[in-house]
A and B are shown apart, each in its own frame.
Chain A
Amino acid sequence: MSEPRFEPIVGRYLTVPIMDADCRVYVEEAGSGIPLVCLHTAGADGRQFRHLMCDEAVTSRYRVLAFDMPWHGKSYPPVGWQDCEYQLTTERYVQTVRAFCKAMALDRPVVMGCSIGGRIVPQLAHAHGPEFRALIGLEAADHQQPWYDTAWLHRGDVHGGEVCAALVSGLVAPQSPAQHRHETLWQYMQGGPGVFKGDLYFYRVDSDLRGKLAGIDTRRCPLYLLTGEYDFSCTPEDTLRTAQSIPGTRVTVMKEVGHFPMSENPARFREYLLPVLEEIAAGAA
């Protein structure tokens, strides 16, 4: 009989007190060393980081953790969810990330987030920088122009999962391998009703950070921003503008990559990420 072909990823459930409720949060991790907390995009879940968690060049020095936000993936919504409309706010998002790090007893983790996870990164740097060893924003900017009405994401005469996936399909670079493109889209097809829309409340309405990011000390908490050239939602220009407003930010535009670098083209993404992780690890030594 052959041995089971397990991946190195281990998944568990964790109780995380977030604002006024205990939330049952699903978390996956792999590796050991510097904690690296990964934040998924709006309407998706932690599976986006599965390639990173199976990459020995990363896990040999980093303890990679990816949790599903409440309402996403295998994390339930809080008790009583059926009586409210989900809306992520800046305050709720910041508290979620900090509560997760506290519940896991992480010592000055690196936080890397993509899209909405990228948007929260400068806010974390601004309001709570000393708590983090370094911050990495993927597809991150202080603001970006909307390109569709989010009302389409949750209405009875349009299938939510299908329209969410079809909208974001254009954010995947043409060069990304078909397997990874469609795995990325599958997560959008699986999202709960109105969850992507609720995440975008944070993105569109509640997190215009332009002119609000003063005082970030990138010497104490290095800040890296990496954006794919095919991302027309958070464009390279949006990221470059943001980086210019925060002295010391290291910014990279990734070739042949779109809005989901870690899941749409993991091989290309690691070429850009490994030097960043190397630099952070060297600084921590």
Chain B
Amino acid sequence: MSDCNEGRDAQVDRELAGRLRRAIRLAFDGDANLQRRGRHLETRCLIQIGTERLLLEIHAGRPTIAEQIPLLCSWAFAIRADAKAWSALWQPVPAPGSHDVFALYKRGEMQIDGNLQPLMANLQYFKDLVTLPREGEGR
């Protein structure tokens, strides 16, 4: 791959990471139902979009994204995929196979690892959280 392509890919990763960052900041504040459902949740997780990594600190269900990931930092679990997979998931009406975290996982386009207990105990919360950038009703 050329340096030019790598640069373009990194730019796309940054744009999508920015999109998730804004959605979590703005859409979460406007989603009383999501706040209510997550109210007992305390955890830290990593969302990776290509080369971009976002560390989510969640207290009483409220996520904040660290400006920088501290050195030797740990998190409970991570959800990782490339920009293409995240972008497909966030389409207003995603295509079959790209419409759910586990659809992507089953196809090998998304990786989920770590201590999954906080994820599975709050699964719909996290599914809704990571699809906040999606526009429309298909969540």
Contact = CB atoms under 8 A, between A and B. Distances in A.
Contacts of B99: 170, 173-174, 230
A contact face: mostly helix, strand, loop, or mixed: loop
Given A147-B105, A157-B117, A175-B138, A232 B124 contact: no
Contact of B123 (A166, A171, A173, A232): A166
A232 B102 CA distance: 9
A283 to B, nearest CB: 32
Contacts of A175: 93, 138
A83 to B, nearest CB: 28
A158 B127 contact: no
A154 B105 CA distance: 22
Given A157-B121, A158-B117, A163-B120, A170 B127 contact: yes
B60 interface: no
B97 interface: yes
Among B93, B105, B120, B137, max chain A CB count under 10 A is at B120
A178 interface: yes
Interface in A154-189: 157-159, 162-163, 165-167, 169-171, 173-175, 178
A152 to B, nearest CB: 5
Interface in B106-139: 106-107, 116-117, 120-121, 123-124, 127, 137-139
A2 interface: no
A75 to B, nearest CB: 27
A148 interface: yes
B106 A145 contact: yes
Nearest to B103: A232
A264 interface: no
Contacts of A157: 117, 121
Interface string A140-151: 000001011000
A165 B94 contact: no
Interface in B72-121: 93-94, 96-97, 99-103, 105-107, 116-117, 120-121
A169 B106 contact: no
A230 B102 contact: no
A68 interface: no
A200 to B, nearest CB: 15
A199 interface: no
B61 to A, nearest CB: 14
Contacts of A229: 96
Ranked 4 nearest A-B pairs via Cβ: A174-B138, A170-B100, A166-B123, A166-B124
Interface of A: 145, 147-148, 152, 157-159, 162-163, 165-167, 169-171, 173-175, 178, 229-230, 232
Interface of B: 93-94, 96-97, 99-103, 105-107, 116-117, 120-121, 123-124, 127, 137-139
11 contacts: A147-B106, A152-B116, A158-B120, A159-B121, A162-B123, A163-B121, A173-B99, A174-B137, A174-B138, A230-B99, A232-B100
